[in-house]
Amino acid sequence: NACEGARTTPSDPFAGVAQQLVRQGIPAVIAMQNEITDGAAIQLAHEFYDALCAGYPVDGALAEARKALFAAGNDIEWGTPVLYLRASDGKLFDLAGQPASQATPQPASPAAEQPLPAPVDARPLAAPAAHTGRNAWPRWLLPAVAVLLVLGGGVAIWQWSQSGATNAPAATATPSTAASSTPGPATAATQPAAPVLAAGDAASRTILLAEARDAVDNADSATARQIYTQLLAANPADVEVLIGLARTLRYDGDHAEALRTLSQAYEIAPDDPAVNYAMGVLYYETFGDNQQALEHFTHALETASPALALDTYYYRASVYSSEGEYANAVADLDKIIAAGGNSDDYV
Q: In Å, what is the CA distance from 333 to each residue of 25, 109, 346, 347?
A: 33, 75, 8, 8
What is the pLDDT at residue 199? 55
pLDDT bucket at 108, cuts 50 / 70 / 90: low
Distance of CA 52 to the CA centre of its chain: 23
**Are residue 234 and residue 338 in the same domain, yes or no?**
no
**Are residue 48 and residue 141 in the same domain, yes or no?**
yes
Task: Establish if 176 belongs to a structural domain.
Answer: no
pLDDT bucket at 262, cuts 50 / 70 / 90: very high
Question: By the 8 A CB rule, do 231 and 208 touch?
Answer: yes
Question: By the 8 A CB rule, do 299 and 278 touch?
Answer: no
Number of C-beta neighbours around residue 270 at 10 A: 11
Q: Is the pLDDT of residue 82 over 50?
A: yes
What CATH number does residue 286 fall under?
1.25.40.10
Q: Is the pLDDT of residue 237 over 80?
A: yes
Give the span between the Cα atoms of 256 and 253, in whole angstroms.
9
pLDDT bucket at 326, cuts 50 / 70 / 90: very high
Give the three-state DSSP class for 12: strand
Q: Average of pLDDT values for 12-37?
A: 78
**Are residue 211 and residue 65 in the same domain, yes or no?**
no
Task: Establish if 277 belongs to a structural domain.
Answer: yes
Distance of CA 78 to the CA centre of its chain: 22
Give the span between the Cα atoms of 263 and 66, in whole angstroms.
46
How many domains does the chain divide into? 3
Give the span between the Cα atoms of 171 and 196, in whole angstroms.
9
Task: Establish if 191 belongs to a structural domain.
Answer: no
Give the span between the Cα atoms of 22 and 176, in whole angstroms.
36
Q: At how many degrees (to 10) do helices 306-322 and 290-301 cross?
A: 150
Most confident of 12-26, 137-151, 311-325: 311-325
Residues paired with 81 in a beta bridge: 32
pLDDT bucket at 20, cuts 50 / 70 / 90: confident
Task: Establish if 206 belongs to a structural domain.
Answer: yes
Question: By the 8 A CB rule, do 15 and 213 touch?
Answer: yes
Q: Average of pLDDT values for 194-203?
A: 57
**Are residue 154 and residue 283 in the same domain, yes or no?**
no
Number of C-beta neighbours around residue 294 at 10 A: 20
Q: Average of pLDDT values for 164-177?
A: 40
What is the pLDDT at residue 11? 67
Q: Average of pLDDT values for 165-178?
A: 40
What is the pLDDT at residue 98? 56
**Are residue 79 and residue 148 in the same domain, yes or no?**
yes
Give the span between the Cα atoms of 37 and 18, in whole angstroms.
19
Angle at 17 (CA atoms; ends 261, 27), nearest 5 degrees = 115
Task: Establish if 118 belongs to a structural domain.
Answer: no
Task: Establish if 211 belongs to a structural domain.
Answer: yes
- Percent of the chain at pLDDT exceeding 90: 32
pLDDT bucket at 134, cuts 50 / 70 / 90: very low
**Are residue 31 and residue 153 in the same domain, yes or no?**
yes
Angle at 158 (CA atoms; ends 217, 190), nearest 5 degrees = 150
**Are residue 249 and residue 279 in the same domain, yes or no?**
no
The H or E element that residue 29 is part of is strand 28-32
pLDDT bucket at 258, cuts 50 / 70 / 90: very high
Higher pLDDT, 214 or 2: 214
Q: Is the pLDDT of residue 168 over 50?
A: no
Q: Mean pLDDT over all residues of the chain?
A: 73
Closest CA to 94 of 61, 131, 56: 56
Amino acid letter, residue 335? K
What is the 8-class DSSP label of residue 230? H
The H or E element that residue 307 is part of is helix 306-322
**Each residue's pLDDT tens digit, 292-310:** 999 999 999 999 999 899 9
Higher pLDDT, 32 or 105: 32
Q: Is the pLDDT of residue 3 over 60?
A: yes
Task: Establish if 107 belongs to a structural domain.
Answer: no
**Are residue 4 and residue 147 in the same domain, yes or no?**
yes
Q: Containing domain of residue 36, as a range?
A: 1-95+136-159
Q: Is the pLDDT of residue 194 over 50?
A: no
pLDDT bucket at 200, cuts 50 / 70 / 90: low
**Are residue 43 and residue 152 in the same domain, yes or no?**
yes
Strand runs (DSSP E) across 57-209, as ranges? 81-85
**Are residue 223 and residue 282 in the same domain, yes or no?**
no
What is the pLDDT at residue 191? 39
Give the span between the Cα atoms of 337 and 339, in whole angstroms.
5
Give the span between the Cα atoms of 139 and 146, in whole angstroms.
12
